[in-house]
Structures are given as structure tokens and as C-alpha cells.
């Protein structure tokens, strides 16, 4: 979700105005993904690099996160959405950590869309963390070096219980991954929308899904071998 600040500035308003509109947009897009039957939606809400922003902006973003989760809990339950988070959340204020854990707990029995917030998340850091955990298990005799393969490695990532993304949508016209799901995105289709996140609409989501449905995914094979249909999982 990119472009909150530029959207606000283009309207002569402070950046936080963009973040408020951005969090309202989360509500709309989450609902729409649920309706479209998408099984997994992961939103990059706050990166490990975002901690370097001005203190006031960081504080306001944390406040918005808490507000969003406490306001949305009943809707998440009602809409059968299972909430999840990834990232170095121990860096978040304790109040935000409490509400995150509560939201996961209270939605854990839901069977619809799995909604994951990436918070204090950075993929290089995630890969380093996994490597250290693997090294420790090897040192402790719980894992042999020969047993390390892609499936084992995946189990040490924050996303151990999530499938790899099929489609990554980046808003605000930027064509880069910005440290998001680097391991997991190996074969993800990438769609760049020119819209700033606060103006990214249901129609824009539909455009992204339509574009994705036309992609030919070969996963390194030749066309005749790769017959897997494009099931939309964002």
C-alpha cells in the first residue's frame, strides 16, 4: 500500500490525512477480496525501514493501526476473516501487540479470507532471522545440514503457514518490491497500479485481477507443461 503521503500532499493536506484515508481503503479492499473468494491477502502496512520516519508520523501510524483493529474486530468476525500478522512485531508499542494478539485469537476459528498484516516487516531481516534459527537448530542437533531444502527453509520464515503470493499489487506507480516477501515472491506476478493507495478503488482491484487472469505462468517450464490455472491469491 503505497502513496498515502503523496496523495495527501497533492491535496495540500498533511501526510496523516493520507494515512487515515489509506486505512479506510483497507476496509474496502479487504471486504472486496473476501467477496471475490480470495483465500489469502497480505498487506504491507509498515516496513522495518518505516521506523526511520519522523517520530510523530510513526506514532500516528501506530495509533491508526490500533484504531483500525479495535474498530474492525466485529466486522472481521462477522465476515469470517481470519487475521494474522508477520514481522518483527516486538518492536511495536505493547498496546498494539496486545490488540494484534487479541484479533488473531478472536478470529482464529474463521474459515474465510486469511488477512495478514506485514508490520515492522522487512524481507532481508526475515531471511536473516530464518538463517539464524536454522543455524541454531543445526547446532542443537535438531536439524542436519543435509536436510535443509526449500520446504524446510520456508518453515523458518514468518510466512511458514502462508502460500507464496500469486499476485503482488503495488500502488502509486512504483515498480519495485521494497523488501517485501523477497523469498516468497520468486514466481509472483507483479501488477503496478498508477493510483495512490487512498484512491485505489474496487474497480482498480478488478483491473488488477483481470490483468492477472490473462498472465501465462510457466514457473520455468515450457507453455505446454505449465497448465496450472491462475487462481487469484493476493
User: Is residue 6 a contact point for ligand IPE (CB under 6 A)?
Assistant: yes
Task: Determine which residue in the list 32, 36, 39, 50 makes contact with ligand IPE, applying CB under 6 A.
Answer: 50
E strand or H helix at 161, and its extent?
none
Q: How many residues bind ligand IPE, per CB under 6 A? A: 12
Backbone angles phi, psi at 114, to 5 degrees: -95, 110
Q: Which residue is nearest to ligand IPE (CB)?
A: 5
Q: Which residue is nearest to Mg ion (CB)?
A: 2
Distance CA 76, CA 74 (A): 5
126-155 residues near ligand IPE, rule: CB under 6 A: none
Please say if 50 is a catalytic residue.
yes
Q: Which residues contact 192 (CB under 8 A, 6 or more apart)?
A: 169, 170, 173, 174, 175
Phi/psi class of residue 179: alpha, beta or left (left: φ > 0; alpha: ψ in -120 to 50)? Answer: left
β-strand partners of 82: 114
Q: Which of the choices ligand IPE, Mg ion, none does residue 1 contact, using the CB cut-off of 5 to 8 A by kind?
A: ligand IPE
User: Is residue 47 a contact point for Mg ion (CB under 5 A)?
Assistant: no
Which stretch, 2-10, 33-41, 47-55, 95-103, contacts Mg ion (CB under 5 A)?
Answer: 2-10
Binding mask 162-191 for ligand IPE (x = CB under 6 A): ----------x-------------------
Q: Which residues contact 184 (CB under 8 A, 6 or more apart)?
A: 157, 159, 162, 164, 165
Q: Which of the 8 DSSP states describes residue 74?
A: H
User: Is residue 170 a contact point for Mg ion (CB under 5 A)?
Assistant: no
User: Is residue 2 a contact point for Mg ion (CB under 5 A)?
Assistant: yes
Which stretch, 1-9, 120-128, 150-158, 210-218, contacts ligand IPE (CB under 6 A)?
Answer: 1-9
User: Is residue 64 a contact point for ligand IPE (CB under 6 A)?
Assistant: no
Q: Which residues contact 124 (CB under 8 A, 6 or more apart)?
A: 179, 182
In angstroms, give the least distance from the CB of 231 to ligand IPE: 28
Dihedral sign for Cα atoms in the order 17, 56, 118, 230: positive
Q: Which residues are catalytic?
A: 2, 50
| Binding interface with ligand IPE (CB under 6 A) | 1-6, 22, 46, 50, 61, 172, 197
Amino acid at each position: 500500500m503505497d502513496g498515502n503521503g503523496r496523495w495527501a500532499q497533492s491535496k495540500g493536506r498533511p501526510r496523516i490525512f493520507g494515512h487515515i484515508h489509506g486505512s479506510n481503503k483497507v476496509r474496502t479492499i479487504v471486504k472486496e477480496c473476501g467477496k471475490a473468494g480470495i483465500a489469502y491477502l497480505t498487506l504491507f502496512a509498515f516496513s522495518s525501514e518505516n521506523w526511520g520516519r519522523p517520530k510523530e508520523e510513526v506514532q500516528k501510524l501506530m495509533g491508526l493501526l490500533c484504531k483500525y483493529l479495535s474498530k474492525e474486530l466485529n466486522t472481521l468476525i462477522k465476515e469470517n476473516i481470519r487475521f494474522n500478522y508477520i514481522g518483527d512485531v516486538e518492536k511495536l508499542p505493547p498496546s498494539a501487540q496486545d490488540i494484534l494478539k487479541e484479533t488473531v485469537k478472536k478470529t482464529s476459528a474463521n474459515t474465510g479470507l486469511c488477512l495478514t498484516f506485514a508490520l515492522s516487516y522487512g524481507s532481508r531481516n526475515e531471511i536473516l532471522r530464518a538463517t539464524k534459527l536454522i543455524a541454531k537448530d543445526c547446532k542443537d542437533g535438531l536439524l542436519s545440514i543435509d536436510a535443509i531444502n526449500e520446504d524446510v527453509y520456508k518453515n523458518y520464515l514468518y510466512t511458514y503457514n502462508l502460500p507464496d503470493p500469486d499476485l503482488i499489487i503495488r500502488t502509486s506507480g512504483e515498480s519495485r518490491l521494497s523488501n517485501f516477501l523477497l523469498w516468497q515472491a520468486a514466481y509472483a506476478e507483479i501488477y503496478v497500479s498508477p493510483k495512490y493507495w487512498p484512491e485505489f478503488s474496487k474497480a482498480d482491484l478488478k483491473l488488477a485481477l483481470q490483468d492477472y487472469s490473462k498472465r501465462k505462468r510457466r514457473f520455468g517450464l515450457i507453455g505446454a507443461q505449465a497448465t496450472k490455472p491462475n487462481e487469484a491469491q493476493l
